[in-house]
Chains A and B, each alone.
Chain A
Amino acid sequence: MGVMRLGYVHARVTDLTESLNHYHDTLGMQIAATAPGLAYMKAWDEYDHHSLVLEEGGVGLVKLGYKVEQPEDLDVFEKRAQQFGAITERMSKGENLAIGDGIRIVLPSEHVLELYHEAEQTGTATGTLNPEAWPRDLIGVGVPRIDHCLVTTEDPVLLERFFAEVLDFRPSERVVTDLSDQADLLGSWMFCTNTPHDMAFIKGPNGKLHHFAYQLADWSEILRAGDLFAMDDVSVDVGPTRHGITRGTTIYFFDPSGNRNEVFSGGYQTFQDFPTITWTADQLAKGIFYIGRELNERFTSVLT
């Protein structure tokens, strides 16, 4: 019973062709399918049909899809979401290409979250029989999988309660203004897997995207990605650096529409009994930019 992982990010892009140059040629995702004004993409180590949907027109997030363990979980989560007071609706198999029945929820932050159980399984690029370690024909960064998303919300406390009470996520790390009882919550990093976070949010306008991230194996892959960004004239936001929050090593960059992406590696293992880490706002620079310890205006302002 439970949410298994982030299944897909569905984002808006101003130009689909330019976006394919970025996500396919630079990042190395494969095109799983296309439709008028839409591209479905998949990273090499993912086995479901797609993990990224690009929709031409505008910028920002359309919705996020999270896959659940059992079909019955959908009914449980639907009831919990309704009890919480969120707007929900049923979604039918096929409304999203290659995705089964599910529940569509409007989060307190106005983001749309879809829960589903079934997805067409097309397999990883290496397969399940005597596989090689990685695909021989990787392009560019060759990202293996999408890892998490960070969004903004006017009310982090409410959104954190939603993810905890409705979807059984747990917070691995939280940023608070101070350690007093009157402290405000500035951000929360929450997990449903064994990683530091599968979803995260910081205080800001509702409905906006800060970034979505790909997982890489280690520092050297992060640095190699950085070199590829230079070669492909990708706009880099921050990094290479390390986060204090999650310990992950990282580079943040922008796609041709201005949506922020991240390549991320490291972190730590989480379990249901993981003791939540707290950061105080006075240490935020170290929390975000562990090495430089200086806040960057772009990083905290650019949202799509």
Chain B
Amino acid sequence: MPSVTVDGTDVVVATRADEPILAALCRAGYAYRFGCRRGGCGMCKVTVLSGRIEYRVTVSAQILTCDDVQAGVCLSCRAVPQTDTVIRLSPDDTLRCVAPFLAAATSNTAATRPSPTPPANSKE
């Protein structure tokens, strides 16, 4: 599955199928500025430095303008990476780690690491 890298940090997150950029980063324990999470307010705009994204829903041209698209700006709450993608947040925004234990668990190789098995019952 394509990964999302946040430029200027060492954060790389593997996305799931059909998962937008914002959802993947939140699932991994990170947060940055976002609003409605539905594509109607524009607060979650980020610049795509490399990689291809796709929208699975109609996105309003009022919110994501032609100029935005030409400049590589996407609505990260609705943009689904099709290839490994590098994004840059708005200049006045920063990536925050809001759930350190989540961030540790999902870092890089989570998809290949086997899930922990529960301890055997000592009475058996």
A298 touches B40 (CB 8 A): no
B residues near A237, Cβ cutoff 8 Å? 36
Question: Is B17 part of the binding interface, using a Cβ–Cβ cutoff of 8 Å?
Answer: no
Question: Is A303 part of the binding interface, using a Cβ–Cβ cutoff of 8 Å?
Answer: yes
Separation in Å of the B41 CB from the closest CB of chain A? 4
Question: Is A100 part of the binding interface, using a Cβ–Cβ cutoff of 8 Å?
Answer: no
B35 touches A14 (CB 8 A): no
Give complex CA distance A14, B57 in Å. Answer: 9
Interface residues of A in 50-103 (CB under 8 A from B): 57-60
Question: Which of A166-174, A222-230, A254-262 is the interface stretch?
Answer: A254-262
Scoring B35, B38, B62 by chain A CB atoms within 10 A of each residue's CB, the highest score goes to: B38
CB nearest neighbor in A for B33: A297
Give complex CA distance A258, B36 in Å. Answer: 5
Scoring B33, B40, B58 by chain A CB atoms within 10 A of each residue's CB, the highest score goes to: B40
Interface residues of A in 236-289 (CB under 8 A from B): 237, 254-260
A302 touches B43 (CB 8 A): yes
Give complex CA distance A115, B117 in Å. Answer: 65
Chain A: interface size category: 20 to 34
Question: Is A126 part of the binding interface, using a Cβ–Cβ cutoff of 8 Å?
Answer: no
A residues near B37, Cβ cutoff 8 Å? 235, 254
Question: Is B60 part of the binding interface, using a Cβ–Cβ cutoff of 8 Å?
Answer: yes
Question: Is B59 part of the binding interface, using a Cβ–Cβ cutoff of 8 Å?
Answer: yes
A residues near B60, Cβ cutoff 8 Å? 14, 57-59, 257
CB nearest neighbor in B for A236: B37
Question: Is B20 part of the binding interface, using a Cβ–Cβ cutoff of 8 Å?
Answer: no
Give complex CA distance A131, B58 in Å. Answer: 42
Given A59-B40, A258-B41, A304-B41, decide whether A15 and B58 contact each other with a Cβ distance below 8 A: yes
Question: Is A18 part of the binding interface, using a Cβ–Cβ cutoff of 8 Å?
Answer: yes
Give complex CA distance A15, B61 in Å. Answer: 13
CB nearest neighbor in B for A257: B40
A residues near B40, Cβ cutoff 8 Å? 14, 59, 254, 257-259, 302, 304
Question: Is B39 part of the binding interface, using a Cβ–Cβ cutoff of 8 Å?
Answer: yes
B residues near A303, Cβ cutoff 8 Å? 41
Separation in Å of the B78 CB from the closest CB of chain A? 10
A residues near B39, Cβ cutoff 8 Å? 14, 257-258
B residues near A302, Cβ cutoff 8 Å? 35-36, 40-41, 43
Scoring A57, A254, A257 by chain B CB atoms within 10 A of each residue's CB, the highest score goes to: A257
Chain A 192-225 interface 0/1 with B at a Cβ cutoff of 8 Å (1 = within): 0000000000000000000000000000000000
Give complex CA distance A24, B41 in Å. Answer: 23
Question: Is A182 part of the binding interface, using a Cβ–Cβ cutoff of 8 Å?
Answer: no
Give complex CA distance A304, B36 in Å. Answer: 10
